[in-house]
């Protein structure tokens, strides 16, 4: 059943072109967890891959719906949020969400937030830049949830992501990552193997239709050999 729902979600409800818009070429519409989301996109933009909705983000949306996961007053941060669709959903599900990505993508994320988050929920959402392994220490370490979708895309970023996760998380933090495996089984496998040295890593869902894995991670008990930031 979840495979069918994911296929439907990935197919979008519909889309429409946006003319004379500096940020987006079209709006895509998705229905998930009882919400109807409007997401502005700009495929093939000079801003890179963050201006399109990625399948792994939709897989996490579908996973939260299937499992009935909600985030009432939970403190959540998303890494590499792209269009912001996942964080927007989590805010609508009750979370207090910090949406992060590169500085060049923040304007587009803020607009997508404005399309979807009612004024009564705006205080739940912050949009800001975060460079993995560089300015992560400017953020607190008390998040209830950390989210990421398709953010393992190069060997060079893996230690930066790990360093960031170790700072942002504590023993109570739950991490949900989703990865489309056919983007590089060796690379992605190495990424999760590296993180599993410091986090208990569980494959909680697999969507064969798009070769997407959803992982749940929590911190292991620190040992003398734990990574020092």
User: Which token pair is 172?
Assistant: 């109570």
Q: Which residues contact 50 (CB under 8 A, 6 or more apart)?
A: 80, 81, 82, 83, 101, 102, 105, 108
Q: What is the mean pLDDT of residues 146-157?
A: 96
User: Which token pair is 26?
Assistant: 């079209």
The count of structural domains within the chain is 1
Residue 209: the pLDDT is 87
Domain-located, residue 152: yes
- At 59-83, the pLDDT tens digits run 999 999 999 999 999 999 999 999 9
Residue 11: the pLDDT is 62
- At 76-112, the pLDDT tens digits run 999 999 999 999 999 999 999 999 999 999 999 999 9
User: Which token pair is 228?
Assistant: 């020092």
Domain-located, residue 86: yes
Distance CA 41, CA 38 (A): 10
Domain-located, residue 224: no
**Counting Cβ atoms within 10 Å, is residue 143 exposed (0-12), middle (13-18) or buried (19+)?**
buried
CATH of the domain at 73: 3.40.50.150
Domain-located, residue 136: yes
Q: E strands, 119-190, where?
A: 125-129, 145-149, 174-180
CA distances from 88 to 59, 85, 137, 172, 188 (A): 14, 5, 24, 23, 26
Name the residue range of residue 145's domain.
2-219
CA distances from 54 to 37, 179, 223, 229 (A): 15, 10, 36, 31
Distance CA 54, CA 180 (A): 9
Domain-located, residue 226: no
Contact yes or no for 218/200 (Cβ under 8 A): yes
Domain-located, residue 225: no
Q: What is the mean pLDDT of residues 5-32?
A: 80
Q: Which residues contact 46 (CB under 8 A, 6 or more apart)?
A: none
Stated pTM of the model: 0.92
Helices (H), the chain: 2-10, 55-67, 85-92, 106-116, 158-168, 185-195
Residue 210 has pLDDT above 60, yes or no: yes
Domain-located, residue 117: yes
CA angle 31/32/34 to nearest 5° reads: 95
Residue 228: the pLDDT is 45
Distance CA 217, CA 4 (A): 26
């Amino acid at each position: 059943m979840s495979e069918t729902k994911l296929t439907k979600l990935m197919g979008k409800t519909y889309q429409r072109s946006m003319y004379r818009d500096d940020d987006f070429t079209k709006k895509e519409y998705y229905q998930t967890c009882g919400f109807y989301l409007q997401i502005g996109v700009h495929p093939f933009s000079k801003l890179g891959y963050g201006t399109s909705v990625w399948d792994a983000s939709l897989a996490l949306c579908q996973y939260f719906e299937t499992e009935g996961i909600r985030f009432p007053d939970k403190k959540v941060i998303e890494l590499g949020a792209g269009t912001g669709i996942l964080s927007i959903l989590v805010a609508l599900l009750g979370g207090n969400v910090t949406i992060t990505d590169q500085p060049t993508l923040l304007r587009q994320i803020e607009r997508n937030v404005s399309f979807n988050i009612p004024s009564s929920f705006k205080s739940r959402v912050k949009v800001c830049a975060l460079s993995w392994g560089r300015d992560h220490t400017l953020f607190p370490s008390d998040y209830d949830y950390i989210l990421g979708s398709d953010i393992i895309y190069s060997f060079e970023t893996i230690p930066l992501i790990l360093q960031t996760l170790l700072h942002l998380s504590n023993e109570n933090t739950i991490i949900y990552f989703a990865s489309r495996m056919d983007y590089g089984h060796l690379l992605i496998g190495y990424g999760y193997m590296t993180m599993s040295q410091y986090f208990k890593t569980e494959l909680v869902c697999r969507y064969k239709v798009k070769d997407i894995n959803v992982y749940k991670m929590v911190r292991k008990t620190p040992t003398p050999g734990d990574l020092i930031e």
